[in-house]
Structure 1
C-alpha cells in the first residue's frame, strides 16, 4: 500500500472513518484508502451510495440529493442521520486522514449538528486537525459552486444536467465552470438598477407636470428638461427661478391680448403678485378676505417702572417738591437767569422782590432737588413710552377682529348662498362666525382694559409733572391688560383654526372656477420651489445612475457571453476527450456545448453524427438523438471534464457505468480510469458491478489498488466494509456476477466460483494457523497437500475461531456447493446468498483474529 505523496504532489485520502451517517450505524467503520485506486463493491441496499454521500458530506457539508432530485424539501427531513440510532446518540460524523502535497497528514472531521428538519437546514461542524474551519482550501481541497460542490459523482448528478431544461442547464454549467460569481455580480447590478428605477421622482415634480396644458407649459418643459444633464444645486435653483418667472409672466399676461405682459425682478415679487391674483379669484367665488386672521402681534405691555420717582419724592420735602417746577420755570427765563438788579417777582408781582441774591438762593434750592428732577424726567419718559405701547396694542386689537364679526344679516345671507353654490358645508362657516364673535368680545374686553390703563397713565403724568405722589392703581390696570390679551389670543387661535378650515374648503371647491389658467399651478410651485430644486437635482442624478447601470449591465452581459463561449469551448474539448475514453471510435460523438442564438440563458448539448469516420459530422441536439447509454456516457464525461477543469485531486464515482451499459465497462476501466490515475487523481469507485470491480483490479492491481466489499448484515451496527484485495476477494466478486442468474446454468457458474473461493479461504486459514503455531507455511504449501474443498476441510477445522458454529459452516459448504459441478439440482439463489454471507463472515472473523490478518 502506498505511503508517500503521489508523483504529482496532490492531496490523497489515507483513511476514512464513518459513524451514524445514513446506512452506517452505531459501529464506527474504518477503511484504508492510501492508494491511487479504491474500488468498493456492494449489492443493492448495502450502503454503497451512503458511502459516496458520506464523502460528499465530509467535503461540502451538504447533500446534493436534496437540491437535485426534486420534490418537497420536507421529504428530505432526517435523511442524513442513521434512522436506528438512539435519540440520545448524537455522535454522527465522517472523518478522514488526508496527506497534503507537502507530505504532512491532516485529520478532517465533519460532525452532524442538525439534520434536515421542519424549518431547519442541515448544520455541521468542520474540524481540521481539531480546529474548526469553514473550508479545506488550505490543504488543497477546493469546492465548486453549488449545487454539485464536492468531486463526488452520484446517480442524481449523472443525469441531472441532461434532464433539466436548457434555461436551467446554463446555471449548472456556470456552477461547474465556477462562473456564478460573474452572474452574481450582474444580478447585483441588475438589482441596483431595479431599485433605482423603481424609486419615485420627488413629489414636487408632479407639480411641474401639472403645468402641462396651461399658459405656463413651456416653463414646465424647461424644468423637466433639467433632469437630463448634470446639475449643481445653485445652477438648478437659478434655472428653476428663471422658469418660474417665465411661468408667472405667462399666467398673469393680459387675457384681452393687449400685449401687456408683467415682468418681475424676483421670485418673491412674483409670489406676492400670484397670491394677490389668486386671492382676487377666490373673492369672486366667496369673500374669504373678510375671514382673514391677523393674530395679535408683539409683546404684552408691562407696567411702567415708577420706583425711582417714588423713592426720590419720598426723600424730598413735599413743599419743596411742589415748588421746584415753578422755580425751574422762573430760572428757565434768560432774563432772570442773568439778573444783576432787583426786579418785580413774576410769581407774586411784588416790586423789587427778585434780586440777584435771591436768584442765587433759588439756584441753590434747585441744586438740592436735582435728583428728584432727574427721576421725574425719567418717569415722564417711561409714561410716554407706555402710552405709545398702548396705542400700538389698540391698533393690533382693531386688526385682530375679522370683518365678519361686524357683518350684517344681508352679508351673511349672501355668503351663505355663495358657500352653498360652491358645495361647501355651511357648518364650516357657521362655526367660524361663532368664533369670530368670541374674538370681537375678547377684543372689546381688551380695549376697555387699555382705556382704563391709559386713564391711569394720564393721571400718573400729571402727578409727576406736579411732583405729587402717584396713585397705586396702575399695576392693577396692567394686570387686567395681561388677562385680556391672553383671552384675545386664545379666541383668535381657536377662530384661526375655523377660518383655516373654511379657507381650505373654499379654495378646493373654487379651484376649478379659477378663470386664469395656470394660476393655481404656478402658486403651488412657488410654495414648493425649494423642494423642486432638491427633487430636480436628485432626479437628474437618478437618471444618470440608471443610464450608467444600463450600460454596465449591457457590457457585463456581452462580457459574460464572451467568457461563456471561451469556457464552453474549453469544456467541450475536455468533454470530447473523456467521451472518447468511454466510447472510442464511435460514429456518434459529442459536438460541444453551445449557447442558443448567442444568448446567455439557454445552453444546448450538441451531438456529432457521422456516416463514417471520414465524413463531416452532422449536428443534432444530443438529448434528441442519443440513446440512454450515450446519455449516461455524456453525463459522466461532463462530470469528468468538470473535475479536470477544477483541478480536483480526489474523485468519488458512484456506479459510473450503469448495469444497462455493460458493453462499456472495459473501456471505462482501461481508458477512463487509466487517464484519471495518470493525472495523479485519487479515484474511489463504488459499484454493484462485480465485473467492473474485478476488471479494475486486473487492469490497475498491485500496490496501487485496494478493494472493499460492503455488507449490511446488522441493521443497528450499520454497513460493514471488508477489504477484498486478494484472490479470495476476486473469486467472490466473480461469483457475484452470476449469483442472481435466473437460469440453472448461471447459478451453476456462481456455485463453482464460490466453491473455489471457499477452497482459497480454507488454504489461507490453514497457512495462517500453521505459521502462527510455529511452522511457517504459505498458501502454495497448503495447495500441494490438498486442493479440493473435501480435502481441505479436515485441515481447516483445527484452526476455526468460533468452534462449533464455524465448524458447522465449513462442513455445510461442500453439501451446498458440490452439486453445482454435477447433474444434481443447482442451489437456489437464496442458498447461494447464505453461503456467500457465511464465507465473508469467516474471512472477516479470521482477519480480525490473527495478529497480521490472513496470509494472502
Structure 2
C-alpha cells in the first residue's frame, strides 16, 4: 500500500501569508523550512492543520478565552473579503493523487464557541473530514491534537492538561474509547434496574429504617414460609405490646388493633393527627337518565286529572264497584248519597273517566316519587361522603381544633418547611370552599325533592329541581378537582408530620408493621421481590467488577506497548542518560482515570536500581520537551501517519540532543516510511539536516516576510533562480520600508 505523501502545498491569505499563492513541493523523504522569528513557520504548520481539520489546536490549548482568537486566521492586511485558502496535492494510500482544498468562509468570532467555518473540497467537489480518511487514508490523531502537526505550544499539552483531559487523550491514543463506553454502559446498569415498588416494600423499608426492629427484620429475611413469616411478625407485635405494659390478645386481628390504638394515643400526645384522617370520595353519578321523562309524564297526567276529583276517588271507585251501575240505561238513585235519579249514564261515564285518569296519574306519581326518593338518598349519601373525604380539621370549628391542640403554628414547628406548609394551607382553603359548595348544593337538591314529596299535586318547581341537579354535578366536579390538588401536599405534609411525631413519640415503624401484619401474603410477596432484586444488584456489581478488571488488563497491555514505543524515541533522542522516561501507566487499579508519566532516576549509567517519580515533577524543561516529541513520534508511528509536520522540534538552546534528532530520529522516521516536514528558526539545524540527508533527496525552503502586505513567502533553496543563493542563509528580513525601496 502506498504511503500518504504531500506532493505540493499552496497557501494564500492564511495568517501571515498574503494574497499571492505561496507554493512548496516537499520531498517524499524530508523537507526543511527555515525562517527567522515571525517569518511564517507556525503559520505554515497551522495552515496544514487547518487544511486537515478546519480548526487550529492552539485556540483550544492556549486561549484563556476563545474570544482571544477572533479574526485570527485571515491575514489582517488583506481585508475581510480577501481569499483565505490552503490547498495540497496528495498522493493517497490508493496510489492516486488528489487535490484537497479548504477555503475559509467565516473566521473565529467573539462569542462564537463553535469555531470558524470553512468549505472542504476534494478534486473540486464538496467533501467532509470523514472522506479525508476514507478516500485519502489520512490518519487523524485524538483531540485536541488531531492533525499530525507538532508545534511548541502543543508539546506540553499532556503535562499541563487536567487528569480528565489526559485520560481522555490516552483513551483515544490507545483506541480504548469503546472499552470506556462499554464500561460506562455497564456501570450504569444498576441505575437501570427497575426496583420493584409496592406499599409492602415501602413498609418493609420503614420497619428497617426505624432501627427498632432489627431482630424482626433479620428473622423475616430468613423465614422460609408464609406461616413462618406470620409467626415472626406476631411475636414482634406481642413483644412490643408487652413492652408497653399491655396484655397481648390471643387473636392477631385484635392484637393489631391494640397496637394501632397505642400508636394513635402516642401520636395524639404530640399532635392531633386524627384531624388529618379522611376517606376516599365516591362521586354521585347524577340523576337517573329517566328522571326528565318521569317528570314530564307526571306533569302531563296531573293536568288531565281533576284535582277535586282526587279527593272523591275512593267514593268513585266504590260506586263503580256496585252491581248494575254500568248496565243502567236510565237515571238511578245514587247509592252513596241516596239522591233520587241523580246517577245518570252520563254521570257514570264521567266517573269512569276520572277513575281511569287518576290511575294514569297515580302510576306517573308513584314512578316519579320512587325516582325522587332514590335521588334524595343518593344525594344524602354524597353529602356524607363529602364530609368524610375532607380532613377532620376542615369540618371542625376553630374552637374544636384548638381544643385538641391543632394550630398552624404547631404544624409549622413540626414540619419545619414553610413553603410546604404554605402550599398545604392554600390547598386546605381551596378544599374547604369546594366542600362547602358541594354540601350546600346537596342540601338544596334534597330540599327540592322534599318540596315534591310534601305536595306533589301543587309541585311546580320542575325548573328549580333541574337547576339544583346541575348545580350539584358542577360543584361535585370542582370538589373532585380540589381533592386531587390537595392529595400531593397533604401526603407530603402528613409524611413529614408522622416522621417527626413518630420520632418524638418513639413509634417509628409501628404503622408499617401493622399494615404488613394485616396482609401476610402481601408481606411474603414483598420479601420475595426484595430478595430477588438484591440478588440482581449483586450479580450486576460482580459483573461490573469483573469487567473493570478485564478492561484494566487490556489497557495496561496497551500502555506497555505505547510505553515501549515512547522509550524507543526517547532513547534515540537522549541515549545513555541516567534520568530517563520509564512508562505511561494508570495510577492504580482504583484510580483508573488517572494517567501518570513515570520517570526513572538512577545513579548508575546502566540505569540499574532506579527510583521512580512522576516525570512532570522531576524532568527539566529540556527533558519534558524531549518527552513531548517522543510521545508525538510514538503516536505517529503507532497510528501509521504518512507524514508529520514538526515546528521547531528542537530547542535552539539545547545542543545536547539536536544532533541526535538530525541523525538518529530522522533516520528512524524515514525507515518507518514517514514523510517529514521540519520547520525551524535555527539555521544550524536546517543546514545539518539538509547536509545529512541530501542523499535521500531532501528539500530545502526559506520562509521570509519582508513586507507585511506581501506576507510570508516560500522560497525553494534548491532552485537557483528562485532562491538566489545556494550556500548560507538568506539575508535577515529588512524592517525598514525606506531601506527596502532603496536601489541596490
Shift of 1:20: 1.6
Query: 1 CA distance for matches of 2:397 and 2:621?
Result: 95
**Cα 1:103/1:648, change in 2 over 3 Å:** same
- Cα deviation for residue 117 of structure 1 reads 3.0
User: In structure 2, how many angstroms separate the alpha carbons of the residues matched to 1:689 and 1:436?
Assistant: 92
SS in 2 for 1:640: helix
User: TM-score, structure 1 length as denominator?
Assistant: 0.60
1:581 and 2:544 equivalent? no
Mapped partners of 1:636, 1:433: distance in 2 = 78
Closer/same/farther in 2, CA of residues 590 and 277 from structure 1, 3 Å limit: closer
Q: CA RMSD in A?
A: 6.6
Indicate which of 557, 563, 566 corresponds to 2:554. 563
Contact 2:241 2:247 in 1 (8 A): no
Corresponding residue for 2:152?
Answer: 155
2:128 matches 1:137: no
1:65 maps to which of 55, 58, 67: 58
What residue number does 2:341 align with?
none
Query: What does 1:619-768 correspond to in 2, within 5 Å?
Result: 619-621=611-613, 622=615, 626=619, 628-701=621-694, 704-725=697-718, 735-736=728-729
User: Equivalent residue for 1:824?
Assistant: none
Q: List alignment gaps of at least 5 residues for structure 2.
A: 326-332, 339-344, 388-394, 410-424
Q: Is the counterpart of residue 595 in structure 1 residue 594 in structure 2?
A: no
Distance 1:568 1:215 in 2: 50
1:260 match: 249
SS where residue 649 of structure 2 aligns?
coil
Give me the whole-angstrom Cα distance separating, in 2, the residues matched to 1:431 and 1:681: 80
Matched with 1:469 is none
- Distance (Å, rounded) in 1 between the aligned partners of 2:192 and 2:253: 39
Q: Distance in 2 between matches of 1:287 and 1:213?
A: 24
Change (3 A) 1:683 1:274: same
Among 121, 128, 132, which residue is 1:127 paired with? 121
Work out the CA distance in 1 between the residues paired with 2:623 and 2:379: 103
- Which structure 1 segments of 5+ residues have no match? 1-7, 227-234, 338-344, 351-361, 405-411, 461-472, 740-828, 843-856
Task: Tell me the alpha carbon deviations over residues 608-647 of structure 1, each in whole angstroms, 9 at most, x when there is no partner.
Answer: 647345x736344345665554443332222111111011
Change (3 A) 1:158 1:430: closer
Q: Which residue, out of 366, 370, 373, partners 1:384? A: 366
- Of residues 591-600 and 213-222 in structure 1, the stretch that sits farther from structure 2 once superposed is 213-222
Partner of 2:405: 422
CA distance in 2, matches of 1:176, 1:252: 68
Change over 3 Å in CA distance of 1:242–1:623 after alignment to 2: same
Q: Distance in 1 between matches of 2:211 and 2:617?
A: 68
CA displacement at 1:55 relative to structure 2: 1.2
TM-fit CA distance, 1:650: 0.9
C-alpha separation between the residues in 2 aligned to 1:507 and 1:172? 50
- In structure 1, the partner of 2:76 is 83
Q: Distance in 2 between the 1:254 and 1:395 partners?
A: 48
Task: Find the aligned partners of 2:315 and 2:689 in 1 and give their Cα distance.
Answer: 143
Range with bigger deviation, 412-421 or 587-596 = 412-421
Deviations 1:635-692 (A, max 9, x none): 2222111111011011111122222233444432332212222222111111123233
Distance 2:94 2:431 in 1: 94
Deviation at 1:94, TM superposition (A): 1.3
Partners of 2:186 and 2:544 within 8 A in 1: yes
Asked if the contact 1:295–1:489 (Cα under 8 Å) also holds between the matched residues in 2, the reply is no
1:20 equivalent to 2:13? Answer yes
Maintained 8 Å contact 2:569/2:665: yes
Which of 3, 9, 32 is the matching residue for 1:10?
3
Change (3 A) 1:569 1:723: same
**What is the aligned partner in structure 1 of residue 597 from structure 2?**
604
The more displaced of 79-88 and 551-560 is: 551-560
CA distance in 2 between partners of 1:197 and 1:166 (Å): 31
Do the aligned partners of 2:704 and 2:733 also contact (CA within 8 Å) in 1?
no
Which whole-Å CA distance do the structure 2 matches of 1:215 and 1:831 have between them? 87
The aligned counterpart of 2:87 is 95
TM alignment of 1:261-410, pairs within 5 A: 262-263=251-252, 303=295, 305-306=297-298, 325-326=317-318, 329-330=321-322, 377-389=359-371
Cα distance in 2, alignment partners of residues 133 and 435 from structure 1: 65
Greater relative contact order (CA < 8 Å, ≥ 6 in sequence) = 2
Q: Which has the larger radius of gyration?
A: 1
Does the 8 A contact of 1:216 with 1:246 survive in 2?
A: no
- 8 Å contact 2:26–2:699 — kept in the other structure? yes
How many pairs does the alignment contain?
Answer: 667
Cα contact 2:286–2:473 (8 A) shared by 1 = no
- Is the CA contact 1:16–1:95 (under 8 Å) kept in the aligned structure 2? yes
1:217-263 CA-partner distances (Å, limit 9, x unpaired): 6899599979xxxxxxxx99xx9999999999999999874432555
Residues 708 and 544 of structure 1: CA distance in aligned 2, closer, same or farther (over 3 Å): farther
Equivalent-residue separation in structure 2 for 1:292 and 1:181 (angstroms): 56
Q: Is the 8 A contact 2:14 2:74 kept in 1?
A: yes
Secondary structure, aligned partner of 1:50: helix
Partners of 1:567 and 1:295 in 2: CA distance:
69
Distance across 2 between alignment mates of 1:668 and 1:286: 85
SS of equivalent residue, structure 1 residue 662: coil
Distance (Å, rounded) in 1 between the aligned partners of 2:249 and 2:353: 69
CA distance in 1, matches of 2:437, 2:46: 89
Aligned to 2:728, the other structure's residue is in SS state helix
**Partner-residue secondary structure (3-state), 2:700:** strand
What CA distance in whole angstroms lies between the structure 1 residues aligned with 2:279 and 2:4? 91
The 3 A distance-change label for structure 1 pair 455 and 483 is same
State the SS of the aligned residue for 1:305: helix
Give SS of 2:687's match.
Answer: helix
Distance 1:564 1:431 in 2: 63
Cα deviation, 1:353-381, whole Å, max 9, x if unaligned, reads xxxxxxxxx9xx99x99999777545433
Contact preservation (8 Å) 2:644, 2:674: yes
SS at match of 2:452: helix
Structure 2 CA distance for partners of 1:715 and 1:222, relative to 1, 3 Å = same
Q: Is the 8 A contact 1:691 1:734 kept in 2?
A: no
For residues 297-318 of structure 1, give each alpha carbon's deviation from its aligned partner in whole angstroms, at most 9, with x where no partner exists.
686676372578679989xxx9
Contact 1:17 1:96 in 2 (8 A): yes
Distance in 2 separating the partners of 1:572 and 1:430: 73
* SS of residue matched to 1:422: coil
- 1:687-745: CA deviation from partner (whole Å, max 9, x where unpaired): 123233233333322573221111101211210011112689999585349x8xxxxxx
Q: Distance in 2 between matches of 1:168 and 1:491?
A: 63
Contact preservation (8 Å) 1:115, 1:123: yes
Question: What are the residue-to-residue correspondences of 1:89-238 with 2, within 5 Å?
Answer: 89=82, 91-121=83-113, 122-125=115-118, 126-129=120-123, 130-135=125-130, 136-138=132-134, 139-162=136-159, 169-187=166-184, 192=188
Q: Give the 3-state SS of the residue equivalent to 2:101 in structure 1.
A: strand
**Alpha-carbon separation, structure 1, partners of 2:740 and 2:431:** 105
Asked if the contact 2:8/2:24 (under 8 Å) is kept, the reply is: yes
Residues 579 and 599, structure 2, Cα contact 8 Å, conserved in 1: no
